[in-house]
Structure 1
């Protein structure tokens, strides 16, 4: 009897302040849907692992599988970076906008994909609109009352509008997105010390996972977690010479240019160039034009001006929402930017080659599953980020 295929997944989230249990519950819920649609059998249990993890016992494509999915937690760093009040967030907005404009990064990003640039400008537009409304409310209150009492009432009215806008951010996400872009731009693309220290810890954990000897070690990076995964694996492979299990990298909904185009992102650009030439892992990059929050079908190496004859990866493919999601599902997701940005981790009711649950709980490595596949014909490789 063939033994179960063993895999260990290390998942790097994007800029997300929510604790990692949300990813377990998302996997449990969406995995059940995908199992029903695709005929998988998936059972979720607790996992014996150092960090936050869960086990997936599967019967996929005719073979038993045993997967541990572990979250590389950096939500505490995200939370710390978001502890700014209203005034602090507006100051962040000015600094971040200046960084992207003054360095020419914004114009290069606009030449690449306008969707994610519009998404980046959205929090600025919302915050400026709230500020204008606050000024208008304050001026009206001051004019109606007049004198010093009017000025005091006007200031109070203006502040009340700003506070109301902050409290509505659970629906508007303007503050959240502003903190996200500000975190990336704070050091002009360099990783802050706290994040470098966390990457070092992730590398030690990944070394231990490789030494445990599963059939495949799969690193998954979503959104801004994609470029963290690149740096993590570049660091690991530079330092680790011993052979080990099949090593795979899956980047989903990546926003690499938002960081790599910044002037001080030298470390990230070096990691991209080095990893793209390595023959010691298989790298698949999946995005979708329907996801306005990512740089869809942009080769994250080539667009940074780092491609060339020696580039081996990534294989750039589209999740093709217009084909892999039914019209009814697409209609239900229309204008839900964040939900579409997380669709890579969810069930597809018309699944194609990309099936997150077959990839993470199936019996083939990422290289085996996508062997011989050509990149998407709409892939973008022009070196917009070259300086």
Structure 2
């Protein structure tokens, strides 16, 4: 049965009416080999569009700076010169180098891993659980596997035709010996795959293939490089906050934001922060976690992912953090209505439940009818709507959430108030 699209934890504390003057956002992109060049440009472009559509005081966006280790890209957005709004430090935590390594490995190895992971998921019944949560995402998961089957069959057919015409199969063939015609047929069957590489990239074949392989490997505890990066991210967040405190800078809200596969990463980093720092979220700035269009179930539902489920249980029961999970039924690559309380065996043993707030972004309401008709069948475009400027006012608003004066808890629990200043020009 389909889960409700909205959920408020029974033990969540009421929102306090506070104003955020300074916010520190740690943004974690999804499984993207081009993250360090994509998200800065995306932010600036979409903010420009947003500022033209909605009344907002003028803001300055600083130049981006890359940390010495290449893991963090940072810039600052000033408070508006009129009206309310927060000065926001924006740190993008990068793991695109790990993704690039996956993309650089042998295509044969990637396909072999995909086949192994998909067959294991089918035989264990896990794929059917994914389909029950979201039939759209189930199709996305199965898409590269079906493509591999089709491409293999076409390669065999092309190879067989070339072999037949070069050998002694037909009267008009070249009559080459089998030890020549057969290898040439095999080569022909492989070369055409390379020839359509650009097409495969345009239809996101390799992107989705490697993404699924990563999630499968992570769920089975076979990504030590990624685990080390999670620890590095947690270290950076703590050191960045300590540096601001030492400098006497007041921060009103610390927000960890993750999109797509980065939603899972954001949850894992947040759980590590709560485990390492007993004071975070208890004293000082409010502590918030935002997951956007997350594919968290892809890993969390795997039987071997016990550590991840323990981290999610920590997030669910810890009052020091406010976790809001935004999804959208129109997005093909998320799980609308997924709720870890109902869909994961967390073993809470009656502990009070403080998280997550589950909300639908309601993309249909944020876009004009013309735009919605144009993009509704473009899965990646719709998936990125979480990060794009609204065309209409809505309870979900990426820029109001990260740059506005309301803390996350207040904004989500009182959406009517959050809409008041967002009147279109």
Whether these two folds match at TM > 0.5 is: yes
Which has the larger Rg?
2
CA distance in 2, matches of 1:252, 1:25: 19
Aligned to 1:382: none
Match of 1:216 among 253, 257, 266: 253
Q: Is 1:154 aligned to 2:185, yes or no?
A: yes
Q: Give, in whole Å, the separation in 1 of the partners of 2:37 and 2:23.
A: 20
Q: Which residue of 1 aligns with 2:412?
A: 370
Out of 37, 44, 47, the position equivalent to 2:53 is 37
Tell me the distance in 2 between the aligned counterparts of 1:227 and 1:47.
Answer: 25
* Stretches of 4+ aligned residues off by more than 6 angstroms: none
Distance 2:76 2:410 in 1: 22
- What pairs with 1:305-324 in structure 2 (closer than 5 Å)? 305-306=345-346, 310-324=352-366
- RMSD over aligned Cα atoms: 2.1
Gaps of 5+ in 1: 375-387
Tell me the CA shift for residue 221 of structure 1: 0.9
For 1:188 and 1:353, how far apart are their aligned partners in 2? 33
* 1:215 CA displacement: 1.1
- State the distance in 1 between where 2:218 and 2:411 align: 38
Judging changes above 3 Å, is the alpha-carbon distance between structure 1 residues 60 and 347 closer, same or farther for their aligned structure 2 residues? farther
Q: 2 CA distance for matches of 1:165 and 1:73? A: 30
Summarize the Cα distance change of 1:230–1:321 in structure 2 as closer, same or farther, 3 Å threshold. same
Q: Structure 2: where are the runs of 5+ without partners?
A: 1-18, 168-176, 245-249, 417-425
Give the structure 2 partner of residue 280 of structure 1.
Answer: 320
Q: 1:189 to 1:227 in 2, by over 3 A?
A: farther
Cα deviation, 1:93-133, whole Å, max 9, x if unaligned, reads 22111231233221221222111010111111222211111
Indicate which of 256, 260, 280 corresponds to 2:296.
Answer: 256
Structure 1 position 135 matched with structure 2 position 166: no
TM-score normalised over the length of structure 2: 0.83
Secondary structure class of the residue paired with 1:342: helix
Within the candidate set 156, 166, 187, 2:197 is matched to 166
Matches within 5 A, 1:39-54: 39-41=55-57, 42-46=59-63, 50=67, 51-54=72-75
Cα pair 1:260 1:268 within 8 Å, conserved:
yes
2:271 corresponds in structure 1 to 234
The CA deviation string for residues 264-298 of structure 1, in whole angstroms up to 9 with x for no partner, is: 11111001111111110111111100001111121
**Aligned equivalents of 1:362, 1:151: Cα separation in 2:** 66
Residues in 1 aligned to 2:223 and 2:111: alpha-carbon distance in whole angstroms: 21
Describe the shift of the 1:34–1:135 C-alpha distance in structure 2 as closer, same or farther (beyond 3 A): same
Q: Relative to 1, partners in 2 of residues 1:351 and 1:4: Cα closer, same or farther, differing over 3 Å?
A: closer
Relative to structure 1, the CA distance from residue 39 to residue 210 in structure 2 (aligned partners, 3 Å threshold; closer, same or farther) is same
